[in-house]
Amino acid sequence: MSIEVKVPVLPESVSDATIATWHKKAGDSVRRDENLLDLETDKVVLEVPSPVDGVIKELKFKAGDTVTSAQVIAIIDRLRHDEGQAGEQMDVMALKSHHFASYSRSQSREATGKARRTG
């Protein structure tokens, strides 16, 4: 599935930004939150992170080009995480199961302690 990477919403007083540097090129693998490029305005330099794990399919602009808010600047082919998600779901279930078992044991100890004190 392809994901569009867009220019972040720029502040009201800023009408456009310039692509200062691409840190990745088409065909490169990227991880979620990895910096893809730097956008420069007259007030600030913004880092634009990858929204997903994937492979860069296309860069719509080159360094030095001017872009505006919400403009599509790159396309990323999202990696399939079917197996990873199943593993994560199992890990969450195991964690819940462990938490429940720990809670049950502590409740059992409390009940046993009360029974000993009253008996």
Above 60 in pLDDT, residue 116?
no
- Mean pLDDT, the chain, whole residue set: 79
Verdict on whether the full-model pTM lies above 0.85:
no
Same domain, 74 and 108: no
Q: By residue range, what is the domain housing residue 66? A: 2-78
Binning pLDDT at 50, 70 and 90, where does residue 43 land? confident
Lowest-confidence segment of 5-9, 55-59, 104-108 by average pLDDT: 104-108
Q: pLDDT tens digits, residue range 53-96?
A: 999 999 999 999 999 999 999 999 998 764 344 444 444 444 44
pLDDT band at 98 (very low <50, low <70, confident <90, very high): very low
Do 27 and 72 have their domain in common?
yes
Identify whether residues 24 and 72 lie together within a single domain. Answer: yes
Q: Note whether 67 and 89 are same-domain residues.
A: no
Query: How many domains would you assign to the chain?
Result: 2
The pairs formed by 57-64 with CB atoms below 8 angstroms and a separation of 24 or more are 57/2, 57/26, 58/26, 59/22, 59/25, 59/26, 61/19, 62/19, 62/22, 63/19, 63/20, 63/21, 63/22, 64/18, 64/19
